[in-house]
Amino acid sequence: MNKVFKVGLIGCGHISETYFRAQEYFNNIRIVKCADINMETAKKCAIHYNIEAVTVEELLKDKEIEIILNLTIPGAHFEVSKMALENGKHSYAEKPMAVNFEDGKKLVELAKEKNLYIGNAPDTFLGGGIQKTRELIDNGVIGDIKLGNAIFAFPGVQSYHPNPEPWFAENEGGPVIDMGPYYLTALVNLIGPAKQVQGRCTKVFEEREIGIGPKKGQKFKVETPTTYLATIQFENDCIIQITLSFDVVAHQRNHIELYGNKGSIIVPDPNMFGGSAFVSVTAGGNWGEHKTEMMPLGKINIKSQSSRANESPTNANYRGAGLSEMAYAIENNLEHRCNGELSLHVLDIIDSTMRASQTGIPQEIKTTCKKPKPFTLEEIKKIMN
């Protein structure tokens, strides 16, 4: 029987419902108190989930709380995680670890100094889709991977989010910070660490219009580039071209395709836990499907439309798996997969991609990391209800 860790939530916004639902799936985490910079928001959350609302300071000082779950806006991730560690709490945050590399580096150093665990989303690479892809690649099905491409492109969050401004803000907005973590974490998991990036970027619209909520119809200024086209070279000399954009109405490209010397693989959506991987080892392009709906973290579990824009009745969404896996690692003195080293390396790639694209100067990646170990069925079963 696993120990159940008492979790304190800071940031009671949109994503919190997904983490509360994670308690249904995983047996070693329990959110017992919540806090928010807006106390009314915290109280509403507490009433809805039958827990206690406290101030941020009270939560950080609470001796009952073992892990702080940081679901604040990206610009606040660094400060909240830092306060959690300084108060002797393990920290697990939404992506990205911080909005700039130097702050992420400080968090990793502080966690080591305090002998505490620091974890970070995305944990979607623990799901059936990326793990099935990893298994196929590790088994040599497509051979040695040297090429690939990836794309995330849609019109932006302003149509469905009531407060979309942070996604377009100067120092914390843009698609690389928002969606880059999913794609880059999946690529590091499948290929290994990166070593260099070059790119270009652009801003298509000078302003956006809010499409929902009390501010519907209001326009706001776009302060950051909204499309990045980058080329990333990995330590194994694999080259990946990646597009990250808030400016595309629709497209028909696959999320990620990797090309080996024996064949090619289509990788499912790295923003989700399930989805089939497709493999072709013939010149004619006959694609074999490798399904994941029978895998524990690949089964469809969203039965009705959620307020989360990336959840529909056909999705597998097990966000919180990384938090649970970290809790198990803390109890058993193991290294967790969504660890600080991996998160910092991904943040380094994010930071370098934005700098390379904005300056036109190729950037060397300053950090490295180990590829996370495959998440085995035996390990998954230990943390699931």
List alpha helices for 16-124, DSSP H: 16-25, 39-49, 56-61, 74-86, 101-114
Mapped to the 3 state alphabet, what secondary structure does 262-308 carry? CCEEEECCCCCCCCCEEEECCCCCCCEEECCCCCCCCCCCCCCCCCC
Q: Is residue 115 domain-shared with residue 142, that is, in the same domain?
A: no
pLDDT in tens, 14-42: 889 999 999 999 999 999 999 999 999 99
Mean per-residue pLDDT for 284-306? 85
Within the chain, how many helices (H) and strands (E) appear?
A: 11, 17
* Alpha carbon distance 372, 127 (integer Å): 13
Q: How far is CA 286 from CA 264, 289, 296, in A?
A: 10, 10, 28
pLDDT value for 309: 46
Question: Is the pLDDT confidence value at 313 over 60?
Answer: no
Query: Domain range spanning residue 110?
Result: 5-123+377-383
Tell me the CATH number at 239: 3.30.360.10
pLDDT band at 285 (very low <50, low <70, confident <90, very high): confident
Q: Is residue 134 domain-shared with residue 117, that is, in the same domain?
A: no
The tokens describing 338, both together, are: 């969504």
* Alpha carbon distance 54, 63 (integer Å): 13
Q: Is residue 154 domain-shared with residue 47, that is, in the same domain?
A: no
The tokens describing 156, both together, are: 């932006």
pLDDT value for 314: 60
Mean per-residue pLDDT for 250-260? 96
Mean per-residue pLDDT for 145-173? 93
Contact at 8 Å (CB) between 339 and 163? no
pLDDT in tens, 109-121: 999 999 999 999 9
Inter-helix orientation angle 180-191/340-359, to 10°:
120
Mean per-residue pLDDT for 44-68? 97
pLDDT value for 304: 61
* Alpha carbon distance 241, 243 (integer Å): 7
The tokens describing 86, both together, are: 């300084």
Task: Give Cβ neighbours of residue 110 (< 8 Å, ≥ 6 apart).
Answer: 82, 85, 86
- What 3-state class would DSSP assign to 13? coil
> Domain tally for the chain?
2
Q: What is the pTM of this model?
A: 0.95
Q: Is residue 150 domain-shared with residue 13, that is, in the same domain?
A: no
List alpha helices for 115-242, DSSP H: 128-138, 175-178, 180-191
Q: Is residue 36 domain-shared with residue 154, that is, in the same domain?
A: no
pLDDT value for 310: 47
pLDDT in tens, 268-282: 999 999 999 999 999
- Rounded mean pLDDT of the chain? 95
pLDDT value for 46: 97
Q: In this structure, is residue 108 part of a structural domain? A: yes
Report the DSSP beta bridge partners of residue 198.
231
pLDDT value for 307: 46
Q: In this structure, is residue 274 part of a structural domain? A: yes
Mean per-residue pLDDT for 92-107? 96
Mean per-residue pLDDT for 285-310? 79
The tokens describing 310, both together, are: 């990336």
Closest CA relative to residue 155, chosen from 183, 181, 169, 175: 175
Contact at 8 Å (CB) between 56 and 35? yes
Percent of the chain with pLDDT over 70: 97
Q: How far is CA 132 from the centre of its chain?
A: 18
Q: Is residue 277 domain-shared with residue 256, that is, in the same domain?
A: yes
Q: Is residue 158 domain-shared with residue 119, that is, in the same domain?
A: no
* Alpha carbon distance 89, 354 (integer Å): 32
pLDDT band at 308 (very low <50, low <70, confident <90, very high): very low
Q: Is residue 285 domain-shared with residue 271, that is, in the same domain?
A: yes
* Alpha carbon distance 255, 244 (integer Å): 11
* Alpha carbon distance 363, 231 (integer Å): 11
pLDDT value for 302: 74
pLDDT in tens, 326-370: 999 999 999 999 999 999 999 999 999 999 999 999 999 999 999
Q: How far is CA 35 from CA 13, 38, 91, 101, 221, in A?
A: 11, 8, 15, 27, 30
Percent of the chain with pLDDT over 90: 90
Tell me the CATH number at 52: 3.40.50.720
